[in-house]
Amino acid sequence: MEKFSNGQGIEAKTYKNSFPPPEIVARARSRIGEDSYGVFNNNCEHFCHWCILGEHNSPQVDSVTWFSAKTLVQLIGLVV
């Protein structure tokens, strides 16, 4: 983990409604070889949430999308 983190901190996150560990691993393995990566619609966070919770989402993408939409609305308000 030290090499992977490159000296940065690592934080473990727990989820209330996660699948049991063997099922999480099986879900991850079922997608080995998949090549449909997309920053906004199928990134590593989407993958992890799907494996752990069965939900295909990315809170990071959601927050960027929300911030972008909010900024756009503010800019439109300045122009009108």
Please state the domain extents for the chain. Answer: 16-79
- The token duo for 17 is 């409604």
Let me know: does 9 contact 43? Beta carbons within 8 Å.
no
pLDDT, tens digit, 9 for 90 and up, residues 36-72: 898 888 898 999 999 999 998 898 877 766 556 566 6
pTM of the model: 0.67
Q: The dihedral of CA 77, 66, 68, 12: what is its sign?
A: positive
Q: What is the pLDDT of residue 13?
A: 85
